[in-house]
Amino acid sequence: MELIEAIILSVLAASTPLLLAATGELVAERSGVLNLGVEGMMIVGAACGFGGAWLTGSIIVGALCGILAGVLMSLLFAAMALGLAVNQVATGLALTIFGIGLSGLIGAGFVGERITPAPHLYVPFITNIPLIGRILFGEDGFVYLSLALIAAVWWFLYRTRAGLIVRACGDNHVSAHALGYPVLRIRMYAVMFGGACAGLAGAYLPLAYTPFFIPGMTAGRGWIALALTVFASWRPGRLVIGAYLFGAVTILQLHAQGAGIGIPSQFMSSLPYLATVIVLVLLSRARTGGSTAPAALGTVFVPDR
Amino acid sequence: MQLVLEKRAERSRTVALISPLIAIGLTIVTMTILFAVMGKNPILALYVYFIAPLADGYSLQEIAVKATPLVMIAIGLSLCYLANAWNIGAEGQFLMGAVAGSWIAVKTQGTEAGHWVLPAMLLLGAIAGALYALIPAICKVRFGASEILTSLMLVYVADLLLDYLVRGPWRDPQGFNFPTTAEFDPVATVPTLIEAGRLHLGSILALIVVAAGAVLLGKTIKGFEIRVVGAAPRAARFGGFNANQLILLTFAISGALSGLAGIIEVAGPVGHLQPGISPGYGFTAIIVAFLGRLNPVGILIAGLFLALTFIGGEQAQIAMKIPLDVTKVFQGVLLFYVLACDSLILYRFRIISSAPQVARGTH
């Protein structure tokens, strides 16, 4: 019973950065922008988030630093991909390469330092209920925030007029432009939201997951978040399922390693990456009839006037 | 007043020629500011980065040694990118080539094996790289899975496989538990070109690859097909070119070159298999491909330039305590500027007034 509780708790923690980053990318992609720089925005968010928390001693300041760093990185992307109409794939790669270097520079000052990780919720009596108590009422704030955020995104995209306009930009930017919507500005806001989420997702790692910063600590989570948007067919509900499934794969392979079954640890560690490839293949295969991706995803738009 | 992009009627040839130079210039300006912010003397830092390595023979050789894998990988990547196939997993193909080639070296260690060993290693490295690159290509062509994500994911898998092998079955029994194979035998080592020097036969191979790339793209029908499929997919369909076949072909070539670069690196400058054999060659080669404007000769020059930044970065770390991450920042910034300047080949800026325009009567 204790082990199951521990596993579920660690699955939730491992899934949260994936869910946060994928939520942001989902909105950006729904507006028609493919930002491959999630990994870069996350790792800079991790470095700045840890730096902020370490200097001030406040987890909230750390989280805000991570968000701000992610937004600044995404503005760099927006200036290139939207402002200068540069190929989005190449720009995203540049953002990741740049981000990995930049995070190393920022983080060099506090490698090896530790902070007190983000506190977990505690409701008297309720949190002490066996099994479900700690799982439902004993998480850190980021876990609840990530779920609230994806719910808000669902409501925004499907229940508000602004969300409809964002989706219109993603499906047909020429029509949206002809109707008088400022396509590039809307996309910039969507990309900034993506950056904020990726920055927060990165900051989650040193603020709550492991209370210290190591270079390259995102370890491909940004890329897995990108794969999750495909997995989810760009739908918020499926994104939650996908994020928790991937979190579960990550944690179960760790527990399998710990249990000492006779498989080399490197093979278990490669499972999340192999699972991503297999899932992408199976899903892409399942929808050979027609793609569910936003129709204008990744295409350059230069308004003619 | 508002700044807007406007499509040029024709590609600007002047901008096309000078855009990489503008990009390098802007990068150097940015780096100067960064050095100043870090409290380092910018002039001295730029000198250590870009001039000092050119001044002594050892560093010049080292630049060629570092440029060898970069150029080889980037030539393959340029074919992919021209065909609009996004192979970003060259790092994994590089590692797989290194692993597969090393298998022969490890198995023949200490035996009477003759001079067939090195050619066999190079061949197997190239084949392994090609096969590893074909996984995302086939997933793309057959199932429509994004080759960007699958090729990148396989980098992590290759990295872990190499780690397993050098910590497990292939570990040098006399290696004091370090995760490395034993030093390769002389027959399994890429010969150097200069007595007691670092420059090796691989650099010659890289030059041959550049020439072959130039011939393929400039003089053959396949090269023409690759360029048309990328630049004008509709025209290519009408022309009856098979885009899927070209994705498989460009991925296979690119993977083979990455794998070859991997085994050359292991059997040459490194001399044994160990983790961390690549300081991100597969990713830096993406920058090399774009900086070289996807042109073989351009890639050769760009490869030498980025190799210079690796050497300069190492020297700046020793001489001025500038962290190695500055080199990665430099490379990222450079790619940004290259892409931005390339945009000006197709577009130009125009300032328009934001006051309501007077409706024009005629069309």
pLDDT in tens, A244-277: 988 888 888 777 777 767 778 888 888 888 988 8
Mark yes or no for CB contact B149/A227 under 8 Å.
Answer: yes
Report CB contact under 8 Å: A97, B290.
Answer: no
**Yes or no, beta carbons of A269 and B160 under 8 Å apart:** yes
Considering only CB atoms, which chain A residues are within 8 Å of B86? Answer: 89
Is B254 an interface residue toward A (CB < 8 Å)?
A: no
Q: Which helix (H) or strand (E) holds A134?
A: helix A132-137
| Predicted pLDDT of residue B358 | 47
The verdict on a CB contact (< 8 Å) between A98 and B145 is: no
| B332 contacts on A by Cβ (under 8 Å) | 94-95, 97-102
Q: Is residue B130 part of a domain?
A: yes
Looking at chain B, which residue has its C-alpha nearest residue A305? B6
Check if A295 contacts B (Cβ < 8 Å).
Answer: no
Which residue range forms the structural domain that includes residue B73?
Answer: 68-281
Interface contact flag, A91 B339, Cβ < 8 Å? yes
Per-residue pLDDT, B362: 44
Smallest Cα distance from A182 to chain B, Å: 13
On whether any CB of chain A is under 8 Å from the CB of B286, the answer is: yes
Is residue A91 within 8 angstroms of chain B, CB to CB?
yes
Query: pLDDT, tens digit, for every residue of B37-82?
Result: 888 888 998 898 888 888 888 888 999 999 999 999 999 999 999 9
Structure tokens, A287: 């929808």
Choose from A35, A97, A233 for mutation: most chain B CBs within 10 A: A97
The two tokens of residue B311 are: 């050497």
Percent of chain B with pLDDT over 90: 42
- pLDDT confidence tier of residue B1, bands split at 50, 70 and 90: low
CB contact under 8 A, B143 and A284: yes
Query: pLDDT, tens digit, for every residue of A180-221?
Result: 889 999 999 999 999 999 999 999 999 988 888 988 888 889
CB count in 10 Å sphere of residue B138: 18
Given pLDDT bands bounded at 50, 70 and 90, which one contains residue A62?
very high
**pLDDT per residue as tens digits for the range B78-127:** 999 999 899 999 999 999 999 999 999 999 888 887 889 999 999 999 99
Mean pLDDT of chain A: 87
Q: Which CATH class is domain A2-120+134-286?
A: mainly alpha
Q: What is the ipTM of this complex?
A: 0.86
CA gap B256, B142 in Å, rounded: 21
pLDDT of A179 higher than 60: yes
DSSP B186-210: GGGSPPBSSTT-S-BHHHHHHHHHH
pLDDT digits (tens, 9 = 90+) for A115-149: 888 787 777 777 777 777 777 777 788 899 999 99
The answer to whether B203 touches B64, Cβ cutoff 8 Å, is yes
Cα-Cα-Cα-Cα torsion A125, A128, A134, A138, nearest 10 degrees, comes to 40
Q: Which of B5, B331, B332 sits opposite A302 (nearest CB)?
A: B5
Task: Look up residue A179 and give its two tokens.
Answer: 């109707």
A299 contact B CB<8A: no
Residue whose C-alpha is closest to residue A40's, from A79, A93, A88 = A93
Interface size, chain A vs chain B, as Cβ–Cβ contacts under 8 Å? 150
Reported as a pLDDT band with limits 50, 70 and 90, residue B177 is confident
CB B209 within 8 A of CB B75: yes
Mean pLDDT lowest among A198-212, A230-244, B2-16, B241-255: B2-16
The answer to whether residue B79 sits within a structural domain is: yes
Give the total number of structural domains in chain B.
Answer: 1
- B363, pLDDT greater than 50: no
Q: What pLDDT does residue A260 have?
A: 67
Please tell me which of A36-40, A260-264, A279-283 the model is most confident about, judged by mean pLDDT. A36-40
* B206 falls within a domain: yes
B59 is written with which tokens? Answer: 């560093």
Please indicate whether, in this complex, the C-beta atoms of B163 and A266 are within 8 angstroms of each other: yes
Would residue B315 count as lying in a domain? no
How close, in Å, is residue A121 to chain B by CA atoms?
35
Sole residue written with tokens 């993977």: B255
Q: pLDDT tens across B217-228, in order?
A: 989 988 888 888
**Residues in A 222-251 with any Cβ partner in B closer than 8 A:** 223, 226-227, 230
The answer to whether residue B173 sits within a structural domain is yes
pLDDT at B281: 93
Could you give the CA distance from residue B286 to residue B88 in angstroms, rounded to a whole number? 7
Using CA atoms, how far apart are residues A193 and A27, in angstroms rounded to an integer? 7
**Does the distance separating the beta carbons of B339 and A281 come in below 8 Å?**
no
* Mean pLDDT on A235-243: 91
* pLDDT of the residue at A162: 92
pTM reported for the whole predicted model: 0.88
**A288 pLDDT more than 60:** no
- Residue A220 with chain B: CB contacts under 8 Å: 152-153, 156
Any idea where the domains of chain A sit in the sequence?
A: 2-120+134-286
Residue whose entry in the numeric block shows the structure tokens 């393959």:
B76
* pLDDT, greater one: B258 or A90: B258
In a domain, B301, yes or no: no
Report the distance separating Cα A224 and Cα A246, nearest Å. 9
Residue A287 banded pLDDT, cuts 50, 70, 90: low
Is A305 in contact with B4 (Cβ distance < 8 A)? yes
Split at pLDDT 50, 70, 90, the class of B359 is very low
Q: Is B164's Cβ below 8 Å from some Cβ in A? A: yes
